Amino acid sequence: MAAGSGLRALGLTAPLILILLILLWPPPVLPQGPPGTAEQRCFCQVTGYLDDCTCDVETIDAFNNYKLFPRLNELLESDYFRYYKVNLKKPCPFWNDSSHCGIRDCAVKPCPSNEVPDGIRSGSYKYSEEANNLAEECEEAERLGAVDGSLSEETLEAVLRWTRHDDSSDSFCEVDDIHSPDAEYVDLLLNPERYTGYKGPDAWKIWNSIYEENCFKPQTVKRPLASGRGDDEGRTFYNWLKGVCVEKRAFYRLVSGLHASINIHLSARYLLQDTWSEKKWGPNVTEFQQRFDEVLTRGEGPRRLKNLYFLYLIELRALSKALPFFERPGFQLYTGNKIQDAEIKNLLLEILHLAKSFPLHFDENSFFAGNQKEAAKLKEEFRLHFKNISKIMDCVGCFKCRLWGKLQTQGLGTALKILFSENLIEKIPESGPSYGFQLTRQEIVALFNAFGRISTSVKELENFRNILQNM
C-alpha cells in the first residue's frame, strides 16, 4: 500500500505500478506443511470442546451465525448504537510517541453535531418518570453545590478525587471524559473497522506491550507472537500457561481472543483494489492464512481462533447476566424518536433473551472462588491489568484502529464489570432507579458493538472455511 502510494507520487499509472510491484516484490516464502488442505491447517484444532469450558465450537457457530448475528446487526444499525463519543486526541501515557499513521484509510471522520440525534447529544436520556425525578435531584444537588463556598480548594480537590475513585472503582477501563472539548461523536457505520495499512513495528509495539507487560506472565517466558520467533513453537509458553490459575489463564485468553478477532476483521475487509475510480474491500485469504494457518504460525493460529470462541462465551454470558438491568420499564434507549426507541428496546430485549437461552453458557463462578482475601486481591489485579490495556489504546498511531481498539476494550471491560457485579444486578428493583449497579450510555454502546465485532468474527470464519475448502 505504501509502496503503491510512493510510485503514484512519481507519476506512474496504475497498470505500470502493478507491473513494477509484480517484478520487484519478493514472493512470500511459505514453509512446507503437513499433508492436508489449507482449510484443515487453519481449522484442524478448532473443533469440539474449548479449554476451561463445557461448550463446543459447533454449538457456538450454529447459534451465532443463524440466530443471533442477523438480529444483532439490525440493532447496531440503529441510531442509539451507531453513535459513539470518543477522544482520539489523548496522548500516549506510556511512551513519547507523537507519530501518527499518514495513510488516508487511518483517518476517522467525526460527526457534525447537527447529525447526531438530539436525544443522544443533549444527555436527556429517558422517557420515564424516574428520569425526570433523577434530573430534578441532580439539578438540586448542583444548586446546593454552587452556593456552598465554604470548602477550601484543598478540600474540594480531595472530594473530587474521592468522587472519581468511587466512579471508577468498579470500572475495568480507562474511560474517556466525554465532556472534554476533544471528545467527538463518531458514526461507527461510516467508519467501519477494516484493513488500513497500519502494521509493522508500531503495531507490534502495541501488542508486545499488552502481552509482555499485562498478561500475568513472567518476563522470562516469551509468548509466541509471530512465526519464526522461538525454536520450541511456543511449548514453553503453553506449558507455563497450563500451570497457572484459571483466572490468569482466562485473562490471557481474553486478550488473545480480542487480538484474533481484530485480525479476522482486517483479513475479511481487506483493500483488494484501489484505483482512481473505486475501492474494493473483501476477504484476503493469504492475509488470513498468515495469521491463522497452523504451519505459518507454528501451531499458534488455531489456538488464537479457540481463544476467540472463549471471548465470545464470556461476552455472551455478560449479556445474559445484564438482562434484569435492561428489562426494567424505566430503562429506555433514548434518541428522541419515541416510536423507533420503543422498537429498538424490544429488539434489544429479544437479543438478550436469546443470549440467555444459549444452552452451554460459560460458568463464571469458577473465577475467584478460592480464599476470599486472595480472591479479592487477584480480582483487583485482574481489573488493574485490564485497565492498563485500555490506556495502551491511546498509543495506537492509526486513528481508525484507535477508535475500534478503544471501543472493543471498553466493551470487554463492561462485560467483565457485569460478570463481577452479579450480586448488585440481582438486587436491582423492578421500578425506580438502580443505585447499586449502573451502566452509562457509553458502556452500553461499547458493550453491544464490541460483542457485534466478536459475533462478526465468528460469522467470517464460516466464510473463510468455505473459501479454503475450495482452494
For residues 9 and 94, state if they share a domain.
no
Would you state the pLDDT for residue 195? 84
Would you state the pLDDT for residue 316? 95
Is residue 378 one of the residues assigned to a domain?
yes
Is residue 137 one of the residues assigned to a domain?
no
8 A C-beta contact, residue 106 and residue 196: yes
Please list the pLDDT of the chain residue by residue as tens digits (471 residues). 444 444 344 444 444 333 333 333 333 333 444 445 677 777 766 766 676 666 778 899 999 999 999 999 999 999 999 999 999 988 888 877 655 665 677 888 888 888 899 888 876 444 444 444 444 444 444 433 443 444 455 544 544 443 443 344 467 777 778 888 889 999 999 999 988 777 767 778 888 888 887 778 777 777 776 544 445 666 777 777 777 888 888 889 999 999 999 999 999 999 888 777 788 889 999 999 999 998 888 888 888 999 999 999 999 999 999 999 999 888 888 898 999 999 999 999 999 999 999 988 877 776 766 677 777 888 888 888 888 888 899 998 889 999 999 999 999 999 999 988 888 888 888 776 667 788 999 999 999 999 999 999 999 999 999 998 887
For residues 99 and 12, state if they share a domain.
no
For residues 101 and 12, state if they share a domain.
no
Is residue 47 one of the residues assigned to a domain?
yes
Rounded to whole angstroms, the Cα distance separating 269 from 413 reads 25
For residues 333 and 422, state if they share a domain.
yes
Is residue 35 one of the residues assigned to a domain?
no
Would you state the pLDDT for residue 226? 53
For residues 118 and 12, state if they share a domain.
no
Rounded to whole angstroms, the Cα distance separating 454 from 313 reads 10
For residues 331 and 433, state if they share a domain.
yes
Is residue 214 one of the residues assigned to a domain?
yes
For residues 7 and 102, state if they share a domain.
no
Rounded to whole angstroms, the Cα distance separating 333 from 375 reads 36
Is residue 293 one of the residues assigned to a domain?
yes
Q: Do the bridges between strand 270-274 and strand 183-187 make them parallel or antiparallel, or are there none, so unpaired?
A: unpaired
Give Cα separations from 116 to 122, 347, 357, 369 (angstroms). 10, 21, 34, 45
8 A C-beta contact, residue 247 and residue 378: yes
For residues 52 and 25, state if they share a domain.
no
For residues 14 and 76, state if they share a domain.
no
Q: What is the pTM of this model?
A: 0.81
For residues 20 and 46, state if they share a domain.
no
8 A C-beta contact, residue 301 and residue 39: no
Q: Which residues are annotated binding-site positions for FAD?
A: 194, 196, 207, 256, 259, 291
Q: What is 129-170 written as a DSSP string?
A: HHHHHHHHHHHHHHHHHHH---S-HHHHHHHHHHHHHHHHTT
Kindly tell me the burial class for residue 15, based on how many C-beta atoms sit within 10 Å of its own C-beta (0-12, 13-18, 19 or more).
exposed
For residues 195 and 51, state if they share a domain.
yes
Q: Which residues are annotated binding-site positions?
A: 194, 196, 207, 256, 259, 291
Domain that holds residue 384: 42-126+158-469
Q: What is the CA radius of gyration of the chain?
A: 24
Helix (H) or strand (E) holding 312: helix 300-321
Rounded to whole angstroms, the Cα distance separating 41 from 446 reads 34
Is residue 150 one of the residues assigned to a domain?
no
Catalytic residue IDs: 398, 401
Is residue 37 one of the residues assigned to a domain?
no
Domain count, the chain: 2
8 A C-beta contact, residue 37 and residue 468: yes
For residues 11 and 121, state if they share a domain.
no
Which of 438, 408, 406 is closest to 425 using CA atoms? 438
8 A C-beta contact, residue 408 and residue 450: yes
